[in-house]
Structure 1
Amino acid sequence: LFANRLSNKGLTAILDNCPHLESLDIRHCFNVCMDNTLDVRMRGQFVRRQTSDRGFPRITSSSSMDAQGDLSAIENQVHKLIDDLRSDFIEGQRSATSEIRLLAKHNMESRIVLANCGAINLLVGLLHSPDAKIQENAVTALLNLSISDNNRIAIVNADAVDPLIHVLETGNPEAKENSAATLSSLLVIKENKVRVGRSGAVKPLVDLLVSGTPQGKKDAAIALFYLSILHENKGRIVQADAVKQLVKLMDPALGMTDKAVAVLANLAMIPEGRTAIWETRGIRALVEVVELGSPRGKENAAAALLQLCTNSNRYCSLVLKEGAVPPLATLSQSGTPRAREKAQALISYFRSLRHGNSLS
């Protein structure tokens, strides 16, 4: 799904006709970003399967019934669910958060009504619920609501960042991965990169890289990618020992090479990042990606190697010892436009060193 090219109406239509799919969470869309952008910016979208989809009413799209009647039905349902969220009964809150989770999944009308009726603030409050299922449902509902740009702003304005970090630290595996996914969605907005980076989210995201589910690790890597775009966050990510975990995740068998390399390409822009890549034997892994990786992985690996080589003759020597020249020569002819540019720049730099014009 190239969801970055679809309108919200188009996304809604997809969901309405694919009831087995979980939400189209905007940050997941940036998984495809690794394959579609030339400046290490993510913008794709993918979907997650719903694990508890039975037993709840579905809201069909407004194209299949009278729009006004549909909206009225949604409003009536939402008002009842909001009352249940405010109650002190665990079972009522559990049921209400489950239904809201599903309502927010199905169409844009539901997301708008839920936000207008005050669901976001109540869901944020329930992120601290001692009941694991309520917490999981609440964070997943916020993830589904965050498909809407306006809702992303409302979620941040509801002071959701710290509660989302709480879920990252205390939730069950699905709650943790959906919290990381929600943070990724919020990080689409530039200003949130500063706020989330300064909030203490980096460490639990790196912890999720280590101990999370396969999906959780992917969500954490995407969130760290967004954070690493901002210069002030790069050092925080390196200090949290993320580079070692990212290099481990470059194992092709794990299916996360492209995500890990995209983050490393950003971290290679600062001295601490380059040192960490060298210390964790990341140079060898990057050369292997240049030779054997996907088109986007090769592109980002070449970008990282260019940063390493042009800032340190020591690292440059290591890159050459790892046999980088043949795969770079191939990449300079057959890679993506950005990959060819980086590979050609590296080869030119190697030639300048050979002719005695090295950096001091």
Structure 2
Amino acid sequence: MRALDLLTRTKKSRTPPSPHPPPKASLPPISAESEANSPRNFPPPYPQLPPSSPHLRSQTAGIMTREEVEVRALGVSAYPGSRELPFQPGARSGLSIDTAGTDHSGVMVHVPKDCSSTDELQQRRKSLAQLAPELVAPPPPPTVPVVSAEDLSALDIAAVLADCRSPDTARRLHGARTLRALSKESDAHRTVLVAADGVVDTLVDLLSEPSGGVSEEAITALLNISTSDSNRRLLPSMGVLLPIVRALASAAQPMVVRETAAAAIFSLSVEDDVKVAAGDAGAVAHLVEILRFGSQQGKRDACKALFNLSMAGCNKARVLEANGVPALVEQLTDGSSGIAEKSAAVLANVVTVEAGRDAVMEEEDAVPHLVEVLETGTPRGKEHATVVLFQLAYHSEVHRAAILMEVVIPPLVRITKMGTARARDKATQLLSILRKTT
């Protein structure tokens, strides 16, 4: 019996190996719906699937994890149009996933043994960028944490102010950015910041910062703080107006800082005493400069500030001295951004004085541009243009004749029917004056 067993075992050991290898273990089954939506079944251009997509099959769990997506995508067996290549679970390398081969992010990936050339590996990296762009996207910039208004009083404001006063530029920038973020949250935040000892003074000091980034954060924080009604009344008494006007006037500051200063002056000049004080500080001439050379947003803010300031009689003459009328007339043609409406509003203030009317009529394009606003402007822009033309016609027969040289009657008639209440009233009066002239 023992001999028979030994013979049997010997025969088994001598059995030649089968010419056909045993079948590989099959992948876990997936539903017909998932198979139909598999990336292999999409026509080009191929969709960008997130790393958690259930349509990517794993050799172990049926759904690929983020790391498996990284590994399998470079193995070329997980994205459309690929050929099945051997998956090498042991071929782990320090190659980074990127699309250019230079941005080493430190992600560890599997590299198939048959990947024989750099070009082929780069092509697989590009395919990974299409399949799962989140894996190659740069990290988002750090954000400044913001506490709620209820917890703001418990925030260590002193530490933030210490950053703002640090000799290190990066710390000053971080401190100013934190104050800006807090000032953006709500009126409650802005009220607490104004009440906190040293916050406003520190922001004012940072306006003279040689680093444009720090001064930009500081002026924006002051602008945000000034949008609260209570703060708007309080800030001028805290000495912020003159430093803001200096920032507006400073050629050393980036234009974005000067434009934000213009917006802050607009916000603060809602108060009547600030209108006069800002004019006395020389703001008008620099606002006219922003109107000429600023960005679209800067021009809008400068126009709004000039409108507020020109409501004070002393500032009408300052607009004229700064040669502001030609700049305002030029902006009447810029209807796409609303600047035409705001420029017409400033002119409506300026023409209430004789020197202002004369300055407008000295501009050859003034009346044609005003008539263009009557035709194509916003309802409020049409109102302001009608007021300007009414003032010109009411005070001078020469001006009336110049207005009648343009095709002004049809748009005025339309405004009497469809304009704002004030526009309808002024258009009716202007038509009456012009008809008496003819």
| CA shift digits 1:22-79 (9 cap, x unpaired) | xxxxxxxxxxxxxxxxxxxxxxxxxxxxxx985211334x5xxxx4xx244xx32423
Shift of residue 301, structure 1, vs aligned partner: 0.5
Q: Which amino acid aligns with 1:59?
A: V
Find the counterpart in structure 1 of residue 222 from structure 2. 142
| CA shift digits 1:175-224 (9 cap, x unpaired) | 11110010111001111111111110011110001111111111101100
Find the counterpart in structure 2 of residue 202 from structure 1. 284
Q: Pick 1 or 2: higher relative contact order, CA cutoff 8 A, min separation 6.
A: 1
Q: Does 1:232 align with 2:311?
A: no
- Superposed, 1:1-360 pairs within 5 Å as 54-60=142-148, 67=150, 70-72=151-153, 75-117=154-196, 118-170=198-250, 171-252=253-334, 254-255=336-337, 256-280=339-363, 281-354=365-438
Cα distance in 2 for partners of 1:106, 1:295 equals 33
TM-score, scaled relative to structure 1: 0.78
TM-score, scaled relative to structure 2: 0.64
Find the counterpart in structure 2 of residue 42 from structure 1. none
User: Do the aligned residues in 2 keep the contact of 1:59 with 1:106 (CA within 8 Å)?
Assistant: no
Larger helix proportion of the pair: 1
Cα distance in 2 for partners of 1:138, 1:252 equals 31
Q: What secondary structure is seen at the aligned counterpart in 2 of 1:277? A: helix
Cα distance in 2 for partners of 1:77, 1:277 equals 55
Q: What secondary structure is seen at the aligned counterpart in 2 of 1:128? A: coil
Which stretch shifts more, 142-151 or 177-186? 142-151
| CA shift digits 1:120-178 (9 cap, x unpaired) | 11111221112211111110010011122232233212322221122112321221111
Cα distance in 1 for partners of 2:333, 2:142 equals 37
Cα distance in 2 for partners of 1:304, 1:53 equals 49
Number of residue pairs matched by the alignment: 294
Cα distance in 2 for partners of 1:325, 1:349 equals 11
User: Do the aligned residues in 2 keep the contact of 1:71 with 1:109 (CA within 8 Å)?
Assistant: no
Q: What secondary structure is seen at the aligned counterpart in 2 of 1:76? A: coil
Provide the identity percentage.
Answer: 36
Q: Which amino acid aligns with 1:248?
A: E
Structure 2: runs of 5+ lacking an equivalent: 1-139
User: Do the aligned residues in 2 keep the contact of 1:78 with 1:113 (CA within 8 Å)?
Assistant: no
Cα distance in 2 for partners of 1:131, 1:71 equals 28
Structure 1: runs of 5+ lacking an equivalent: 1-51, 355-360
User: Do the aligned residues in 2 keep the contact of 1:197 with 1:233 (CA within 8 Å)?
Assistant: yes
The structure having more radius of gyration, on CA atoms, is 2
Which stretch shifts more, 326-335 or 204-213? 326-335
Cα distance in 1 for partners of 2:238, 2:207 equals 12
| CA shift digits 1:203-247 (9 cap, x unpaired) | 111000111111111110110010111111111012111111111
Q: What secondary structure is seen at the aligned counterpart in 1 of 2:258? A: helix
Q: What secondary structure is seen at the aligned counterpart in 1 of 2:281? A: coil
Q: What secondary structure is seen at the aligned counterpart in 1 of 2:218? A: helix
Cα distance in 2 for partners of 1:243, 1:110 equals 40
Which stretch shifts more, 270-279 or 133-142? 270-279
Cα distance in 2 for partners of 1:217, 1:71 equals 35
Q: 1:326 to 1:209 in 2, by over 3 A?
A: same
Shift of residue 254, structure 1, vs aligned partner: 4.9
Q: 1:253 to 1:193 in 2, by over 3 A?
A: closer
Find the counterpart in structure 2 of residue 17 from structure 1. none
User: Do the aligned residues in 2 keep the contact of 1:124 with 1:158 (CA within 8 Å)?
Assistant: no
Q: What secondary structure is seen at the aligned counterpart in 1 of 2:155? A: helix
Coordinate RMSD, CA, aligned: 1.8
